Amino acid sequence: METGLILVTVGDAANSVLPAMGQVLRAMGRHLKIGIITTLPADWRRCMEKFTVPLKDSVHIYELSKDETPDTLREEWETATKSITSDHYGMVILQNISILVKKNAITTDQLVEMLRKRPASLHVIIADSDPGQAVLEESDMITEMRTLKG
């Protein structure tokens, strides 16, 4: 059995999530099921949905509404993490998940605990502008994505 990795891409929304979408395609080639937990704004979400429509049997998007109360966000997070830890997915993308910590819906410790409790073969990609030091320390690889021109 392959050991799952925790990969972090740090950068603004566009720069951090696009490499994760490339990994979705690679995972599809290996017949993995993918879960995406996101707080993307509506315009990015529509783009992601168009990208994943042909892949609907393999990709499931959990949308967390960053405008909700901490209690609502916590409930949405708990629902999403039950699926993550269920051994259903081969890859999970956590996009802009630090919003939940900033809104006091979850703690950094809870996020790290979820990463530690994940199935051994699950790959996790965290695409975020500021995932926090504890998450960075838990990761296997960190890539900083930034715009050099444009």
Instruction: Tell me the mean pLDDT in the region 29-37.
Output: 87
With 80 as the cut, is the pLDDT of residue 45 above it? no
| Topology (CATH) of 6-144 | Rossmann fold (3.40.50)
Provide the residue ranges of all domains of the chain, joining segments of one domain with +: 6-144
* DSSP per-residue codes, 65-77: -TTS-HHHHHHHH
What pLDDT is attached to residue 16? Answer: 73
Residue 44: predicted pLDDT: 62
Lowest average pLDDT, out of 30-39, 44-53, 99-108, 133-142, goes to: 44-53
